[in-house]
Amino acid sequence: MSGKLFLVPTPIGNLEDMTFRAIRILKECDLILAEDTRTSAPMLKHFGIDKKVFSHHQHNEHKATSEIIKFLNEGQKIALISDAGTPAISDPGFFLVREAIKNEIAVECLPGATAFVPALVNSGLPADAFCFEGFLPVKKGRQTKFKKLAEEDRTIILYESPHRLLKTLEEFAQYLGADRQASVSRELTKMFEETVRGTLVEIKTHFENNTLKGEFVICIAGKSVTKSKNKYDDAEE
């Protein structure tokens, strides 16, 4: 009888965001696949989870997947976690899930932490329709991607690293317009959580004069969204 593959989200910062169900599944499974065992070890220890943990990351997932499928076909229950957030969202996981489905193995994804949802909801930008781009191409296809996103009507969401943030904001201002409304969140759920809202140029200026630290989530208004006046503007008129 086939086993089951569980995709288990883990906190993106604050350990209080771990769900009771996630803890139970990790305690009940036969083994855990972790993006980086060194990163996951303190979290697992904190919740009293003592299981075999194996590395499963972008550099070994194709090679390791056949062995994992074998274990699943033998009836084992296996949980996949990433360093933070939901597996397969800009993290390893997609290839393993696809192969499990091909082999008619049950796959179950638990709801839980992910960075782009709170960043979007907290941005003040329309959340009824959006596109998630993950990380932009570093070189090949980068210009083409900007040109495509310039025509996007939905709210645009993407992840960015500290050392590329200013360059990315500058390029977005170039292709989408310096006055395009946006929001940038960093260190979500952590002690120094910060969200900066304004035009792309205003946000870039802010981070030019502040320390760039942590992982960043950028939310940008779609082409069809214009800056609306607030009640204070109306009152002044």
pLDDT given at position 231: 38
Whether the pLDDT of residue 88 is over 80: the answer is: yes
Partners of 218 in the β-ladder = 158, 184
Distance CA 35, CA 25 (A): 17
Q: Residue 73 domain-assigned?
A: yes
Do 132 and 194 lie in a common domain? yes
In this structure, what CATH number is given to the domain that contains residue 210?
3.30.950.10
Map tokens 């593959």 to a residue. Answer: 5
Indicate the average pLDDT of the chain: 93
Per-residue pLDDT band at 1 (split at 50, 70, 90): low
**b (16+ CB within 10 A) / e for 115-142:** bbbbbbebbebbeeebebbeebeeeeee
Do 104 and 119 lie in a common domain? no
Interval 103-154: pLDDT, tens: 999 999 999 999 999 999 999 999 999 999 999 999 999 999 999 999 999 9
CA angle 105, 11, 88 (to 5 degrees): 40
Q: Residue 42 domain-assigned?
A: yes
Whether the pLDDT of residue 160 is over 50: the answer is: yes
**Residue 75: is it exposed, middle or buried by C-beta count within 10 angstroms (0-12/13-18/19+)?**
exposed
Structural domain of 36: 4-109
Nearest in space to 175 (alpha carbons), one of 144, 203, 154, 136: 144
Q: Could you write out the DSSP letters of every residue in 73-99?
A: HTT-EEEEE-SSBSTTSSSTTHHHHHH
Distance CA 103, CA 70 (A): 10
Distance CA 68, CA 52 (A): 13
In this structure, what CATH number is given to the domain that contains residue 60?
3.40.1010.10
Q: Residue 32 domain-assigned?
A: yes
pLDDT given at position 226: 58
Distance CA 47, CA 226 (A): 46
pLDDT given at position 61: 85
pLDDT given at position 224: 86
- Total domains in the chain come to 2
Map tokens 């499990």 to a residue. Answer: 100
Do 178 and 195 lie in a common domain? yes
Per-residue pLDDT band at 228 (split at 50, 70, 90): very low
Whether the pLDDT of residue 14 is over 80: the answer is: yes
Q: Residue 226 domain-assigned?
A: no
Q: To which H or E segment does residue 155 belong?
A: strand 155-160
Do 133 and 43 lie in a common domain? no
Map tokens 């939310």 to a residue. Answer: 219
0.85 exceeded by pTM: yes
Distance CA 109, CA 47 (A): 20
Whether the pLDDT of residue 227 is over 90: the answer is: no
Do 101 and 40 lie in a common domain? yes
Interval 169-224: pLDDT, tens: 999 999 999 999 999 999 999 999 999 999 999 999 999 999 899 999 999 999 98
